[in-house]
């Protein structure tokens, strides 16, 4: 249990770097006139690259090489991108403004992402 708490804590900490990449690019794209969901999707991909590098090197103890983990990560990220976009769209259409909706989306997906990475991507 202690190992899980430690790796989840690292997942959260490195997640801040991934979220910073996501939100910074999303902000720039929104300022440039792109709609919220596409801006979030592009930002999400920047965060995903950040997440993979940090997770592989610092959070998990991969039992597979970068090519295998990378392919699994692409599949996981595609599912996460769909979930992120659908949840953001639902929340904004439900009346939340973009940033509170994106923060809530990020928080809700954090635990799911960790479990997918731990049990499949970097296993």
Distance from C-alpha of 57 to C-alpha of 59, rounded to nearest angstrom: 6
pLDDT digits 0-9 by tens, 9-46:
999 999 999 989 999 999 999 999 999 989 988 998 89
pLDDT (mean) for 47-67 = 93
pTM, two decimals, is 0.77
- pLDDT at res. 95: 97
- pLDDT at res. 81: 85
């Amino acid at each position: 249990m202690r190992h899980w708490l430690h790796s989840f804590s690292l997942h959260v900490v490195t997640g801040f770097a991934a979220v910073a990449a996501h939100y910074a690019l999303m902000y720039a794209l929104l300022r440039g006139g792109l709609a919220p969901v596409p801006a979030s999707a592009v930002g999400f991909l920047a965060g995903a690259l950040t997440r993979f590098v940090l997770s592989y090197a610092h959070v998990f103890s991969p039992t597979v090489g970068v090519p295998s983990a990378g392919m699994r990560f692409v599949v996981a990220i595609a599912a996460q991108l769909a979930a992120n976009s659908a949840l953001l769209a639902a929340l904004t259409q439900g009346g939340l403004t973009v940033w509170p909706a994106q923060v809530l989306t990020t928080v809700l997906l954090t635990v799911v992402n960790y479990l997918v990475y731990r049990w499949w991507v970097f296993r």
